Amino acid sequence: MTDTATPPVPTPPAKERPRLAYHHTPAAEGVTGPTIVFLSGYASDMMGTKAVTLEAWAKSEGRPFLRFDYGGCGQSEGAFEDQTLVDWRDDVLAMLDALVDDDGAILVGSSMGGWLMLLAAKLRPDLVKALVGIAPAPDFTDWGFTTDEKMALLSNGRIERKNPYGPNPTVYTRGFWSSGEANRLMFGEIAFDGPVRLVQGQRDPDVPWHRTARLAELLRSADVQTWLVKDGDHRLSRDSDIALIIRAVEDVIAAL
């Protein structure tokens, strides 16, 4: 009997991601320190008030800053409904790898961007130095959908919700929801040791403030602070809210 070698299983090609639109401001001459990277929320883009205002502040301080659109969002290429949470996580990693130098990054994650910043910090622990969450929403595919909505996603492949921030409905797909469920974090210790500031409105209808308090408990770092805005909503885009977010960024920079 002749032994025959089993042919190796070919490795599937890596998924090609859409080309991403971004604005990158390098550090002013003589300024060192981490690049501040803004991560927007679900179905949002880099032109939001928080991203643009934070960029203007960073420029005034000479600090490097990066904002960008995930695949299928804003000015980036790709179809929105083809994207998953892991796809957008990989977009974050690609931006960090391409545009952040050895001084590392401070990730500022808004809503879903707060989930992505935690996933990116897990995979780039040497690069991510600090985190600022703005109404962070890790694991929202679990707690942010009703049972009926989850069943509709599984059976129909997509659902639409009324969008309180614009005229078009917000679409969620089965692919995004399944990707989120496979990448949940809020079940045990989250291994990050840098400074963290979490800014959360107590009148947020989308992210209950007690979930942000729970996130603070799960983060391994001893330098975690939760800043509650009693009359703050989910967007936290008022001048006073953005001033607090800038203060949070300044605070983690001082702690590094």
Can you give the length of the chain in residues? 256
Provide the β-strand partners of residue 22: 68
Q: Which of 87, 90, 91, 204 is catalytic?
A: 204
The yes-or-no answer on residue 204 being catalytic is yes
Kind of pairing, strands 158-161 and 105-110?
Answer: unpaired
User: How far is residue 163 CA from its own chain's centroid?
Assistant: 20
The yes-or-no answer on residue 234 being catalytic is yes
Q: How many angstroms separate the CA atoms of 178 and 95, rounded?
A: 24
Kind of pairing, strands 196-201 and 128-134?
Answer: parallel
Q: How many angstroms separate the CA atoms of 42 and 160, rounded?
A: 13
The yes-or-no answer on residue 210 being catalytic is no
Tokens 């989308």 correspond to what residue? 206
Q: Which of 87, 91, 234, 241 is catalytic?
A: 234
Tell me the one-letter amino acid at 183: N
Q: How many angstroms separate the CA atoms of 58 and 60, rounded?
A: 5
Q: Which of 44, 76, 110, 111 is catalytic?
A: 111
Q: Which residues of 69-86 are buried (b: 16+ CB within 10 A; e: fewer)?
A: bbbbbbebebeeeebbbb
Would you name the residues annotated as active-site residues?
Answer: 111, 204, 234
